[in-house]
DNA sequence: GTAGGGTTAG
């Protein structure tokens, strides 16, 4: 029997429960099961880690070992308790006496380290393995992919291939998420097709996610459409893809199809649906989604999406209600609410909320600070803006990024501090980009500083010769200074380069239908009635002192003609249509693709007073709440 | 023993 025990070292421990061995005991037989094994296993099943470790101690003292299944249960028990120290002890115990366990058990140990976020320990163990199977490789690949160490994950796949181990659906669905280049993705995709793994729903959803991440939505849709069997996560992936790329229409369309084929909406679906509503400003549809959200009351991500939807649809009352009753709030909830208040013109409330966040909320991040700077910028709080900007590094350890500089430039621009803007641009720790120069250009327009504007516009066009915004802003500035020859020159260049100005467009939701108004477009069925009422309003407002502000006309027109081109701006048509369609107590909500012009802003203020209406207009940057003759932006936008 | 979808700024 002594001779046998020497050979048994090579067999211990095995994956079979009925074969447990001892190396050191001279009385063992190949079928010897230490009496402690059963109680060890029972403690593990009951997740009683202290008792289990106690039994392990006594086994170690007696020099007996349990089988692999028992160890795997013990490791599960450590994981359930988050017990790193005990996990490491089990590892040492299994490897004691220079023994190497079977691949199966080593994989479990590697997985334990991965779950404990100890990737280096996992890698050391992986490197020492005499033989690695597909699970060993996949565990490591997925660990690196989850940690966003994408290079490492991709490299491991190459080594795995070199070692002749065939990836399976687990491997592909993990490594796909680490893929960053379209070329690699195409290669992976064809490999997946070759081995016939594209029908696996995990692989399919990963393919959709990665194509979406790379902006290849048509390819993502193709992968989705090839699905024969249904799967709710695959549906959610494709809906999220379109919602994240601001194609709310397609996202909602897919959502309806998903419901039609019988898949219920879960948290993830609803989050994407809310995001789609947000991008389309569909408050009423968002409210309907809210009813379903109530089923998932505790879901933080979903509540954040709901909060954002109400903020972006300009319904601050609802947003505040949601925010106040959220049981759990994270940095995203706070940042959303702060930015939401700021964008809707409630800057002081935004700053007050930031102060309470400092006291009772999570640590602010770089996005929170953007909301704070935005609030300062839109309230003209230059000193406060400088304070938050200069202290963000000291207080929160956040270095200002391009966006923070952008907010500060915006703030300085609104406060007519063009020189300070130029100074700050030179101070930036990163290269100015198109957005930086556009902020300067925009400020020059308001201050009518033609020379600086020309400089800024040329910088933009150096970076992007196709930038429509630069041409339009430049031509606006020339128009304001009545330099019509220069306006014509800009127009000629635009024409030559095939660049067209995006037409002003406004949308309004009436009876679950979206009505679009485009400057000069007469296709709306009620356009004649709208124009008739618009003219009446303009006459009545003229009695109240409304004079069209022709500074906002871009063409070289004279007198009455100039007023006419302002008269039919899309937001004026949408406002009149809103007044015609809704009772007085209902808020008129409009969203548009371009910033509102000064004349329409004045018109909206006066008509809100005349008609006793609450009008909310969302432009690409912010919101205007018009009521009783004033706007929440304080005429500062 | 290894794999999935959703939220904040611009």
Q: Is the pLDDT of residue A38 over 50?
A: yes
pLDDT at A13: 42
pLDDT average, residue stretch A441-447: 81
Which nucleotide, over all strands, has the C1' atom closest to the CA of A143? B2
Residue with CA nearest B10 C1'? A403
pLDDT grade, residue A556 (50/70/90)?
Answer: low
Contact, A370 CB vs strand B, < 7 Å: yes
CA of A103 to C1' of B1 (A): 9
Neighbours of A260 (CB within 10 A): 8
pLDDT at A560: 60
pLDDT grade, residue A563 (50/70/90)?
Answer: low
Q: What is the pLDDT of residues A146-205, one digit of tens each?
A: 999 999 999 999 999 999 999 999 999 999 999 999 999 999 999 999 999 999 999 999
pLDDT average, residue stretch A444-465: 85
Which nucleotide, over all strands, has the C1' atom closest to the CA of A263? B5
Contact, A330 CB vs strand B, < 7 Å: yes
Contact, A240 CB vs strand B, < 7 Å: yes
pLDDT grade, residue A4 (50/70/90)?
Answer: very low
Q: Is the pLDDT of residue A469 over 80?
A: no
Contact, A602 CB vs strand B, < 7 Å: no
pLDDT at A280: 93
Q: Which of A620, A618, A576, A614 is nearest to A594 (CA)?
A: A620
Edge-to-edge order in the sheet of strand A588-592: A513-518, A505-510, A588-592, A615-618, A623-627, A630-631
Q: What is the pLDDT of residues A290-325, one digit of tens each?
A: 999 999 999 999 999 999 999 999 999 999 999 999
Q: Give CA–CA dist A355/A599, Å, rounded.
A: 36
Higher pLDDT: A90 or A32? It is A90
Q: Which of A289, A282, A285, A344 is nearest to A319 (CA)?
A: A344
CA of A203 to C1' of B3 (A): 8
Contact, A533 CB vs strand B, < 7 Å: no
Neighbours of A112 (CB within 10 A): 23
Contact, A231 CB vs strand B, < 7 Å: yes
Q: In whole angstroms, how far apart are CA A479 and each of A448, A484, A553? A: 10, 6, 8
pLDDT grade, residue A622 (50/70/90)?
Answer: confident
pLDDT at A138: 98
Region of A391 (left: φ > 0; alpha: ψ -120 to 50; beta: rest) is alpha
Higher pLDDT: A32 or A93? It is A93
CA of A353 to C1' of B6 (A): 26
The pLDDT mean for chain A works out to 87
> Contact A486/A453 with Cβ under 8 angstroms?
no
Which nucleotide, over all strands, has the C1' atom closest to the CA of A311? B8
Q: What is the pLDDT of residues A569-605, one digit of tens each?
A: 888 888 999 899 998 888 888 888 888 878 888 888 8
Q: Which nucleotides of strand B lie within 7 A of protein CB?
A: 1-10
pLDDT at A74: 96
Contact, A141 CB vs strand B, < 7 Å: no
pLDDT grade, residue A143 (50/70/90)?
Answer: very high
Contact, A637 CB vs strand B, < 7 Å: no
Contact, A305 CB vs strand B, < 7 Å: yes
pLDDT at A30: 45
Region of A413 (left: φ > 0; alpha: ψ -120 to 50; beta: rest) is alpha
Residues present in chain A in total: 637
Contact, A134 CB vs strand B, < 7 Å: yes
Say if residue A444 is exposed, middle or buried (CB neighbours under 10 Å; 0-12, 13-18, 19+): buried
Contact, A371 CB vs strand B, < 7 Å: yes
């Amino acid at each position: 029997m002594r001779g046998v025990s020497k050979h048994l070292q090579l067999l211990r421990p095995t994956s079979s429960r009925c074969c447990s061995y001892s190396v050191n005991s001279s009385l063992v037989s190949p079928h010897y099961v230490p009496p402690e094994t059963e109680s060890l296993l029972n403690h593990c099943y009951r997740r009683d880690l202290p008792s289990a470790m106690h039994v392990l101690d006594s086994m170690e003292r007696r020099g007996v070992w349990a089988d692999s299944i028992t160890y795997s249960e013990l490791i599960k028990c450590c994981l359930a308790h988050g017990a790193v120290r005990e996990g490491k002890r089990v590892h040492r115990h299994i490897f004691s006496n220079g023994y190497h366990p079977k691949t199966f058990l080593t994989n479990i140990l590697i997985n334990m380290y991965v779950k404990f976020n100890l990737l280096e320990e996992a890698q050391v163990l992986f490197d020492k393995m005499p033989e690695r199977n597909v699970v060993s490789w996949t565990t490591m690949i997925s660990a690196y992919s989850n940690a966003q160490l994408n290079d490492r994950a991709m490299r491991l796949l190459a080594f795995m291939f070199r070692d002749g181990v065939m990836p399976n659906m687990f491997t592909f669905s993990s490594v796909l998420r680490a893929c960053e280049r379209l070329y690699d993705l195409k290669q992976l995709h064809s490999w997946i097709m070759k081995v016939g793994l594209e029908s696996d729903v995990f692989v399919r959803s990963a393919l959709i996610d990665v194509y979406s991440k790379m902006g290849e939505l048509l390819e993502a849709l193709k992968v989705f459409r090839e699905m024969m069997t249904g799967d709710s996560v695959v549906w959610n992936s494709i809906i999220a893809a379109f919602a994240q790329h601001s194609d709310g229409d397609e996202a909602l369309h897919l959502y309806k199809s998903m419901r039609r084929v019988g898949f219920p909406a879960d948290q993830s679906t609803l989050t994407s649906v809310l995001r789609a509503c947000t991008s389309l400003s569909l408050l009423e549809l968002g409210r309907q989604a809210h009813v379903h959200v109530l089923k998932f009351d505790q879901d933080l991500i979903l509540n954040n999406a709901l909060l954002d939807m109400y903020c972006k649809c300009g319904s601050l009352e609802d947003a505040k209600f949601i925010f106040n009753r959220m049981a759990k709030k994270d940095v995203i909830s706070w940042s959303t609410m702060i930015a939401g208040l700021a964008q809707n013109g409630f800057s002081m409330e935004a700053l007050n909320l930031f102060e309470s966040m400092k006291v009772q909320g999570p640590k602010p991040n770089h996005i929170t600070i953007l909301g704070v700077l935005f609030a300062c910028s839109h309230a003209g709080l230059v000193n406060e803006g400088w304070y938050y900007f200069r202290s963000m590094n000291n207080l929160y350890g956040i270095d200002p990024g391009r966006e923070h500089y952008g907010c500060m430039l915006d703030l300085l621009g609104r406060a007519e501090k063009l020189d300070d803007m130029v100074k700050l641009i030179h101070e930036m720790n990163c290269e100015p980009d198109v957005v930086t120069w556009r902020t300067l250009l925009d400020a020059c327009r308001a201050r009518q500083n033609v020379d600086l504007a020309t400089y800024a516009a040329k910088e933009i066009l150096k970076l992007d010769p196709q930038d429509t915004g630069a041409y339009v802003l430049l031509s606006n500035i020339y128009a304001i200074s009545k330099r019509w020859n220069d306006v014509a020159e800009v127009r000629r260049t635009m024409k030559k380069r095939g660049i067209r100005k995006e037409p002003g467009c406004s949308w309004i939701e009436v009876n679950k239908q979206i009505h679009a108004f485009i400057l000069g477009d007469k296709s709306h069925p009620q356009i004649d009635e709208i124009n008739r009422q618009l003219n009446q309003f303009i006459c009545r407002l003229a009695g109240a002192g409304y004079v069209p502000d022709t500074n906002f006309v871009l063409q070289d027109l004279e007198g009455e003609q100039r007023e006419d081109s302002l008269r039919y701006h899309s937001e004026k048509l949408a406002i009149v249509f809103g007044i015609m369609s809704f009772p007085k107590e209902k808020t008129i909500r409009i969203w548009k693709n371009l910033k509102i012009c000064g004349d329409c802003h004045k018109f909206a203020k006066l008509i809100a007073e005349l008609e006793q209406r609450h009008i909310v207009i969302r432009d690409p940057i912010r919101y205007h709440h018009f009521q009783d003759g004033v706007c929440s932006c304080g005429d500062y936008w």
